[in-house]
Amino acid sequence: MELYASTSYELAERLTKRYSTSFSLSSGLFDRAIRHHIYAVYGMVRIADEVVDTYRGNDAAEQLTALERDVMAAIASGYSTNPILHAFALTARQYGIDESLIHPFFESMAADLTVTTFTQQEYTRYIYGSAEVVGLMCLRVFVLGDEEQYQAARDGAQKLGAAYQKVNFLRDMKADYDELGRVYFPGVQFDSFDEAAKQAIVADIEQDFAIADRAINELPANSRAAVRASYYYYHELLQQLKATPASTLKTQRIRVPNWRKLALLAKAKLGA
What pLDDT sits at residue 265?
A: 83
Alpha-carbon distance values, 210 to 156, 160, 165, 231 (Å): 9, 9, 15, 11
Look up the CATH architecture of domain 2-271.
Orthogonal Bundle (1.10)
pLDDT for residue 144 is more than 80: yes
Q: What per-residue confidence (pLDDT) applies to 272?
A: 64
pLDDT score of 24 more than 80: no
pLDDT of residue 33: 96
In this predicted structure, the answer to whether residue 27 has a pLDDT above a threshold of 90 is no
Q: In this prediction, what percent of the chain has a pLDDT beyond 90?
A: 83
In the predicted structure, residue 71 carries a pLDDT above the cut 70: yes
Mean pLDDT of 31-42: 96
Average pLDDT score over residue span 213-241? 94
pLDDT over 80 (residue 25): no
d(CA 40, CA 50): 16
User: pLDDT value at position 259?
Assistant: 87
- 151-194 tens-digit pLDDT: 999 999 999 999 999 999 999 999 999 988 889 999 999 999 99
Backbone angles phi, psi at 146, to 5 degrees: -75, 110
Count Cβ atoms within 10 A of the Cβ of residue 5 and give its class: 0-12 exposed, 13-18 middle, 19 or more buried: middle
Instruction: Report the distance separating Cα 118 and Cα 185, nearest Å.
Output: 7
pLDDT at 146 over 90: yes
